Amino acid sequence: MLNRRLIRIRAMQALFAYKQAEGANFQLALDLIADHFSPDLNSMEYQDKEKLEGLKKLGQNLLQEAFSRREAEKFDAPAEVLRTVEQAKEFYLLKNKKDVQHYASRMLIEAERVYELYLQILLLFIDIADRSIQDGNGSDAKSKFSDNQIVKALRAEKVLETQAIRRSVSLSNEQVFVAKLYREAIRSNERFKEYVSKINHTLEEDFAILKYLLKNVILKHEIAWEFFEKQDLYWIDDIETLRAAVTHTFQSFVEEGKLKIALLDEEWEERKEFLQTLYQKSILETKDLEEILIPKLKNWEIERISGTDQILLKMAVVEMLNYPSIPVKVTINEIIEIAKEYSTPKSGQFVNGILDGVAKELKDSGKLRKSGRGMLDNK
């Protein structure tokens, strides 16, 4: 259920968060230099504020040059300035190293949280059924929502029970939320009232009401939205993935008479490796990636490109170079779609033009090696 599109988006989000932290870390390093050369207000000795200000600016300029793509000018600087700059560099690099690890860990947790929300939504249908029993399904009810064939299958499904226990997913402590959602969003819903007003539902009718409640209540109503948004930082981005996964599970019962509960199994291990590679290499190999990209930017300096576009371009090159089985056009098209959704209005066209040129150059140089399915459309 955690498809490559979701993985690419998670990598982009983690890289964006890391870049923000990297910028903050650099500012802290600049502040470290500024603090070192600030006048000591508690000292009885004379403080040459003009000299201190000059040393501060010199040190900050040296730090900026140290991490610039431009070749640093060579000139003598006081030993105290050089020593302070080295301390600031060490501080900056150490903070970045910790943040790379922090956001890598958080990225995996947030990706797996989508699966936990999937399990939670399935359990929510069981709890809604329980709540409807307590309520009597409404005064005009002639049937019970708890008798919905798919809900009954969910209740009996051992795989769902096992996965929920394994990942500590439960709604037992969220009954206030369940009650409020049922009372304010479901019990008075006209489609729900129509469903329970009839007797002897077909399997297709059982499937239809669950799809309706999923799309129009559980993934849309403000009560549910507020509940899930607190658990998932990227809830709005994950809604479509969750809708498709839960619907597929219900549909499997309609088509095969058995629920197919999605699992985070070997496929997730492969997806996890894909996610980690996109993230790690986009950071650790950023200079090499920029050397590939910059010649294609023509009149654009890379600093003038939006942060999201920079991240997506680097991710695309990492994917092209490290995944022989993924066709180039698939990589480019996916990155274009993400750019259109998450970056500027013109980003899709801009990213497309850059990546087309990069792909051609990598192929001509022999660096782009595709095999199997990856050779499709790679012309």
Q: Which domain holds residue 343?
A: 285-375
Q: Both 62 and 120 in a single domain? A: no
Closest by CA position to 2, among listed 328, 240, 297, 350:
240
How large is the average pLDDT for residues 104-132? Answer: 96
263 within domain boundaries: no
Q: Both 90 and 52 in a single domain? A: yes
CATH number of the domain enclosing 369: 1.10.940.10
Q: Both 68 and 121 in a single domain? A: no
Instruction: Write down the mean pLDDT value for the chain.
Output: 92
21 within domain boundaries: yes
* H-helix segments, the chain: 4-36, 49-66, 79-135, 149-156, 158-166, 175-181, 190-196, 203-213, 222-231, 235-256, 266-284, 286-293, 307-322, 328-342, 347-365
57 within domain boundaries: yes
CB atoms within 10 A of CB 198: 11
- DSSP letter for each residue of 232-244: -TTHHHHHHHHHH
Q: Both 252 and 116 in a single domain? A: yes
279 within domain boundaries: no
Of 153-162, 198-207, 313-322, 363-372, the one with minimum mean pLDDT is: 363-372
Any idea how long the chain is? Answer: 379
* Structure confidence at residue 46 as a pLDDT band (50, 70, 90): confident
Query: What pLDDT was estimated at residue 305?
Result: 85
264 within domain boundaries: no
The rounded distance, in Å, linking the Cα atoms of 95 and 67 is 15
* Structure confidence at residue 297 as a pLDDT band (50, 70, 90): confident
365 within domain boundaries: yes
247 within domain boundaries: yes
Are 313 and 351 in contact by the 8 Å Cβ rule? The answer is: yes
Which of 77, 104, 131 is at the close of a domain?
Answer: 104
Q: Which residue, chain included where needed, has tokens 């996890």?
A: 272
Angstrom CA distances, 35 to 39, 52, 297, 342, stand at 9, 10, 38, 38
Q: Both 244 and 118 in a single domain? A: yes
Are 12 and 315 in contact by the 8 Å Cβ rule? The answer is: yes
Q: Both 128 and 161 in a single domain? A: yes
Percentage with pLDDT > 70 across the chain: 94
Query: What pLDDT was estimated at residue 117?
Result: 97
Q: What is the pLDDT of residues 185-216, one digit of tens each?
A: 999 999 999 999 998 899 999 999 999 999 99
Q: Both 97 and 118 in a single domain? A: no
Q: What is the pLDDT of residues 137-189, one digit of tens each?
A: 555 678 899 999 999 999 999 999 999 999 999 999 999 999 999 999 999 99
Q: Both 136 and 29 in a single domain? A: no
351 within domain boundaries: yes
* Number of domains composing the chain: 3
Closest by CA position to 363, among listed 375, 349, 348, 353:
375
Q: Both 116 and 249 in a single domain? A: yes
Q: Both 94 and 134 in a single domain? A: no
Query: What pLDDT was estimated at residue 76?
Result: 80
Q: What is the pLDDT of residues 324-342, one digit of tens each?
A: 999 999 999 999 999 999 9
Which of 104, 135, 154 is at the close of a domain?
Answer: 104
Q: What is the pLDDT of residues 221-280, one digit of tens each?
A: 999 999 999 999 899 999 999 999 999 999 999 999 999 999 987 788 889 999 999 999
Are 11 and 107 in contact by the 8 Å Cβ rule? The answer is: yes
Which of 104, 130, 152 is at the close of a domain?
Answer: 104
Q: Both 329 and 366 in a single domain? A: yes
State whether the Cα torsion 330-332-335-340 is positive or negative. Answer: negative
Query: What pLDDT was estimated at residue 75?
Result: 65
Task: Decide: pTM greater than 0.85.
Answer: yes
Eight-state DSSP code of residue 295? G
The rounded distance, in Å, linking the Cα atoms of 151 and 195 is 14
- Cα Rg, the chain, nearest whole Å: 28
Closest by CA position to 117, among listed 233, 14, 206, 8:
233
Q: Both 289 and 161 in a single domain? A: no
